């Protein structure tokens, strides 16, 4: 009888401990993964991209306020936890990029409130990004158009070449983004047929080319990058350039 009572007590205690552990452990939220088909968006997504691009002002009137920003962005190697660890030290040229950003506000009551242009150059590529932010966001928040060059030259050379758009992104409120990007072939194979999306790429390229001129990027970007280089001169060169006051 004692053994049965003891076994029952022990069983109840074990059940209580399990229930307590389950109650004390935090509930893990479900993980939702959205896979974007950037190479072949659906017909509905293509229409959304076309609509967003059609509302970009072709002859904008800019307000008096504007912003020009320049600087250097250093990559935090600890930010990407999924990247493979490497013991080899990385040079500053490999982990940093010089950038120039410009912002202009639209004066008229257009769909978009402002446009921001950015140019970034590191040791491996140069990237242009044009972002239009919606004035009264409901479903759509902003539209971004991007192009890039894998061969690093001068900013003036890339801006003069009118590099075509390679990526269009629509950021939406409460929904996944809509993205269309030029896709290379897998494992060096033949690239997928994206001829059906060429009108969208052509429209985005035309917008990028127009605003590159409207905001004066061809002149301002090279000038601002020169200023970054002048700030980054080695300390020894600045000391040698300074006059000596020793007798």
Do 44 and 176 meet the contact criterion of CB atoms below 8 Å apart? no
pLDDT given at position 231 = 78
Regions of the chain where pLDDT drops below 50: 1-13, 15-20, 79-93, 235-236, 247
- Alpha-carbon span 189 to 160, nearest angstrom: 31
Q: Which two tokens stand for residue 184?
A: 């290379």
CB 40 within 8 A of CB 195: no
Specify the pLDDT at position 142: 97
For the entire predicted model, the pTM comes to 0.74
Instruction: Report whether 77 contacts 95 (CB < 8 A).
Output: yes
Could you tell me the residue ranges of all domains in the chain?
35-73+96-184+193-229
Here the tokens at position 70 are 């320049």
pLDDT at 37: 80
Output the pLDDT for position 144. Answer: 98
């Amino acid at each position: 009888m004692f053994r049965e009572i003891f076994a029952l007590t022990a069983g109840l205690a074990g059940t209580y401990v399990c229930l307590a552990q389950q109650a004390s452990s935090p509930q893990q939220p479900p993980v939702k993964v959205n896979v974007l088909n950037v190479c072949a968006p659906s017909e509905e997504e293509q229409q959304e991209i076309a609509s967003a691009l059609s509302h970009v002002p072709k002859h904008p009137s800019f307000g008096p306020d504007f912003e020009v920003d320049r600087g250097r962005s250093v990559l935090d190697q600890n930010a990407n936890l999924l990247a493979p660890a490497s013991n080899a030290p990385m040079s500053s040229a490999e982990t940093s990029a010089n950038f120039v950003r410009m912002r202009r506000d639209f004066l008229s009551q257009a769909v978009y409130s402002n446009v921001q242009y950015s140019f970034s150059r590191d040791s491996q590529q140069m990237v242009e990004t044009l972002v239009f932010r919606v004035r009264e966001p409901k479903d759509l928040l902003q539209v971004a158009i991007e192009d890039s060059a894998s061969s690093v030259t001068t900013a003036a050379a890339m801006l003069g070449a009118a590099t075509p758009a390679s990526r269009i992104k629509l950021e939406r409120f409460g929904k996944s983004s809509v993205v269309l990007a030029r896709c290379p072939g897998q494992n060096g194979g033949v690239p997928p047929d994206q001829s059906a999306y060429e009108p969208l790429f052509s429209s985005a390229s035309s917008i990028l080319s127009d605003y590159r001129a409207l905001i004066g990027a061809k002149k301002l970007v090279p000038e601002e990058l020169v200023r970054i280089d002048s700030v980054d001169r080695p300390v020894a060169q600045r000391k040698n350039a300074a006059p000596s006051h020793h007798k």
